[in-house]
């Protein structure tokens, strides 16, 4: 019964998940990349005017501009010329038409209630997600940002999640998602993981001693489930090195995937186990007796590891070679 508890809790949170991600799951057909590129051309009759010209004529963007100047993007200068590499227009499209009717003096514009004509920019929030991401990808190629190598085939890209969904560029000077705010961001779309992490045995995510990106690469990976590392085992042994082996006495090949016995986010059973012992072990083994005399009683135990203490493998032989018993 105990092992079904997590599922019940998960079921409880299912309606929430469906509402939160309904729009995203309603996948639209993916178009040829050229079509997305065309959506990003913007107004061909507009000119690029540079960040200073863009913002000089209005007060409204003071905080945005200030944050931007102190961000990694704002600090990127072309070597030699000292010209900025990233402008407001790199993402929003050319700006000359937007400010064409404005006075040089922002106070005068305020008095006359004249505003920047934002309709001449790219309609950045209403583009299809693939086009939104393309705005970033024109600079963030895999060559410049290696973590994006597998982006296009990732479950996020394939399910209409765009860079904007995770990177809020104008919330402050920081553009990278910080470890502190990460869980809240990811839980927004993955509430089931949040529920799992509330369980008794859990990786210390809710204590903020770990973050999702310790095990996942949100931009895409060579493994299933966006896991970091080359193999399922490697995802875990980067931290739990003592379980890596190879051992003289291996536990068959079950150790190749720790998920054979463990669940990563949380469990009602101690040690993040998938199921309590002996049920965990009975999935693959039968019970046994301790002597071979006919009619010997089957051993009745809950904790098989009381005797088989080196369950992950051992280099030290035991009399009978059974993981240290
Ligand atoms: C790296 C891409 C990028 C750059 C550079 C950029 N923006 Fe944005 N901007 C966005 C995105 C994406 C949004 C959509 C909303 C969001 O994520 O905050 C946005 C939204 C906005 C909005 C609407 C914000 C709101 O809260 O409604 C304004 C105004 C704006 N940007 C101004 C600027 C100004 C001014 C600059 C230059 C100082 C600038 N942006 C530079 C990507 C960018
Ligand atoms: C005009 C080119 C350009 C565009 C467009 C652009 N970036 Fe960048 N971005 C850069 C450069 C250059 C850097 C600094 C070098 C680096 O980290 O690769 C950078 C750095 C970053 C960083 C790292 C910040 C840090 O703290 O380490 C993030 C995150 C980022 N960009 C996200 C985005 C997102 C999201 C978009 C799309 C909305 C975007 N960028 C669009 C050029 C661009
Ligand atoms: C599902 C959420 C999510 C999406 C979607 C996403 N990112 Fe990120 N991104 C993150 C997180 C989380 C980090 C912080 C990684 C870390 O701390 O190791 C990050 C870090 C980065 C960095 C910093 C350098 C690095 O490799 O860690 C860049 C640049 C970046 N993202 C660009 C992008 C671009 C461009 C896109 C769209 C093609 C994108 N991201 C889509 C969550 C996301
Ligand atoms: C805007 C919503 C959204 C955000 C934010 C988001 N995800 Fe996702 N994520 C999705 C969708 C949609 C899928 C694909 C469908 C699915 O498997 O649920 C997905 C898939 C995944 C998968 C793979 C599941 C599989 O079955 O292959 C992992 C792992 C994942 N996300 C982790 C993260 C992490 C870590 C973060 C935070 C850095 C994050 N997600 C942020 C929407 C989101
Ligand atoms: C200790 C490593 C680890 C951490 C930390 C971690 N995950 Fe996972 N996650 C995994 C593994 C391993 C799987 C694959 C489980 C499987 O295949 O049964 C997974 C699967 C997922 C999935 C796919 C659905 C599922 O439950 O199988 C999502 C979504 C996900 N993780 C999101 C997150 C989010 C969000 C965070 C941060 C709050 C996070 N993970 C933190 C290891 C981790
Ligand atoms: C970034 C480092 C890191 C990674 C990667 C990692 N862990 Fe952990 N693991 C920890 C930390 C930290 C703890 C908590 C230790 C403590 O509380 O003393 C922990 C605890 C555990 C525990 C004991 C839980 C308990 O209730 O005491 C198990 C089992 C475990 N991890 C398995 C895994 C598995 C399986 C994976 C791969 C899916 C994995 N870990 C990946 C850092 C990591
Ligand atoms: C055959 C099942 C099985 C597999 C596969 C397995 N474990 Fe375990 N693990 C257990 C059991 C059972 C315990 C509890 C040990 C006890 O009761 O003494 C445990 C405990 C742990 C602990 C906490 C106690 C300790 O020994 O540090 C960590 C961490 C851990 N396992 C990591 C891993 C990692 C990493 C992998 C994959 C490389 C893995 N396990 C694969 C069964 C397994
Ligand atoms: C996913 C299947 C699986 C699970 C779960 C599992 N095992 Fe195993 N176990 C194996 C395989 C496969 C072998 C190797 C069998 C062989 O070589 O004949 C093995 C071998 C063993 C051996 C004999 C090792 C030797 O040196 O002869 C012992 C003892 C053992 N397991 C105990 C346990 C215990 C205790 C548990 C529960 C904590 C457990 N196993 C969980 C698959 C599993
Ligand atoms: C009291 C100590 C003890 C406990 C508890 C115990 N075992 Fe054993 N186990 C042994 C000994 C001793 C051997 C070697 C017996 C032999 O060679 O006949 C062994 C051998 C094994 C073997 C390999 C023998 C074979 O059949 O090839 C497996 C598998 C195994 N145990 C699984 C389990 C499981 C599953 C549990 C929990 C239900 C468990 N053990 C509980 C002491 C124990």
What is the 264 CA–ligand 5 centroid distance (Å)? 6
Alpha carbon distance 253, 2 (integer Å):
27
Q: Assign 84 to helix, strand or coil.
A: strand
Q: Tens of pLDDT along 231-258? A: 999 999 999 999 998 998 899 899 999 9
What is the 209 CA–ligand 4 centroid distance (Å)? 21
Given the CA of residue 61, which atom of ligand 1 is nearest to it?
35
- The reply to whether omega before 246 is within 30° of 0 (cis) is yes
Which of 293, 306, 320, 325 to probe ligand 9 with, by most ligand atoms within 8 A of CB? 325
Strand partners for 262:
273
Give me the torsion for CA of 28, 18, 273, 198, rounded to 10°.
130
Alpha carbon distance 301, 280 (integer Å):
12
Sign of CA dihedral 84, 86, 90, 96: negative
What is the 214 CA–ligand 7 centroid distance (Å)? 19
pLDDT at 26 exceeding the cut of 90: no
pTM here is 0.92
Provide CB contacts within 8 A for 214, sequence distance 6+. Answer: 228, 239
Provide CB contacts within 8 A for 184, sequence distance 6+. Answer: none
Q: Tens of pLDDT along 27-47? A: 567 888 899 999 999 889 999
């Amino acid at each position: 019964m105990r092992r079904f508890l997590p599922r019940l809790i998960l079921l409880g949170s299912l309606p929430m998940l469906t509402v939160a991600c309904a729009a995203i799951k309603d996948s639209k057909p993916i178009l040829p990349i050229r079509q997305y590129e065309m959506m990003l051309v913007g107004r061909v009759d507009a000119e690029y005017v540079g960040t200073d010209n863009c913002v000089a004529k209005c007060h409204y963007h003071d905080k945005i501009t200030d944050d931007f100047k102190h961000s990694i993007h704002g600090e990127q200068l072309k070597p030699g010329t000292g010209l900025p590499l990233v402008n407001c227009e790199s993402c929003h499209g050319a700006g000359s038409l937007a400010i064409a009717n404005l006075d040089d003096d922002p106070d005068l514009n305020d008095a006359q209630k004249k505003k920047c004509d934002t309709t001449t920019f790219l309609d950045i929030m209403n583009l299809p997600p693939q086009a939104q991401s393309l705005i970033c990808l024109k600079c963030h190629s895999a060559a410049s940002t290696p973590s994006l190598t597998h982006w296009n085939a990732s479950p996020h890209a394939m399910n209409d999640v765009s860079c904007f969904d995770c990177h809020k560029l104008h919330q402050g000077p920081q553009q990278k998602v910080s470890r502190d705010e990460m869980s809240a961001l990811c839980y927004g779309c993955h509430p089931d993981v949040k529920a799992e992490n509330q369980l008794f045995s859990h990786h210390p995510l809710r204590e903020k001693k770990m973050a999702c990106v310790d095990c996942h690469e949100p931009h895409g990976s060579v493994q299933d489930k966006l896991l970091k590392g080359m193999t399922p085992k490697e995802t875990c042994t980067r931290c739990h090195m003592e379980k890596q082996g190879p051992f003289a006495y291996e536990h068959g090949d079950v150790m190749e995937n720790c998920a054979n016995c463990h669940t990563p986010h949380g469990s009602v059973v101690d040690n993040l186990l998938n199921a309590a012992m002996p049920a965990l072990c009975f999935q693959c083994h039968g019970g046994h007796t301790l002597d071979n005399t006919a009619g010997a009683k089957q051993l009745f135990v809950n904790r098989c590891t009381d005797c088989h203490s080196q369950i992950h493998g051992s280099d030290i032989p035991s009399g009978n070679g059974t993981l240290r018993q």
